[in-house]
Amino acid sequence: MIIAVELWGYSVGMKIGDVIEFSLPDQSGKAISLKQYRGKPVVLFFYPRADTPGCTVEACEFQSLYGQLEAAGAVLLGISRDTPGKQKKFADKFGLTYPLLADSDLVVAKQFDVVKEASMYGKPVTKVERSTFVFDKDGKLEAEFRGVKPEGHAAEMLALVKGVA
């Protein structure tokens, strides 16, 4: 369930330098917003579905570097179209200790333009493109990475944050 979405700066699209604000429930149902992390860089990664092979690789690689991201002063947030309950099962199963946000209605994913139409076995499907967005300490969009591969992506984001932080 979406709580709120706002885009400050541009009325159409999202550009580097924009301040984006939204609030979504995490795996425990607690509302998490980008605004609450002002003063720290934020790494926000979108993944298609909890507990699928690629998403598990990506989420676990981020978990293995989570302490280093925190030491660099950064916040890590994962987001998918799963419910808070499914996010909790995913987090518990793999020991993920950072917030996993539930965007069941895809409202935030659409704002970030990561919702893509595709075909699977000849039928149309709606997918979430694996993408990562990095915000600076002031909440401005610093960088975006679309269509990323799960393997090694977390290490790339750690290197970037060390330069941003």
Residue 55 is among the residues annotated as catalytic for this protein:
yes
- Out of 7, 55, 79, 128, pick the active-site residue: 55
Going by the DSSP 8-state scheme, the letter that residue 158 receives in this structure is H
User: For 95, how many CA atoms within 13 A lie in the half-sphere containing its CB?
Assistant: 6
End-to-end Cα, the chain, rounded Å: 31
Cα–Cα dist 11/111, whole Å: 11
> What DSSP character marks residue 140?
B
Residues 6+ apart with CB under 8 A from 88: 27, 28, 100
Catalytic residues: 55
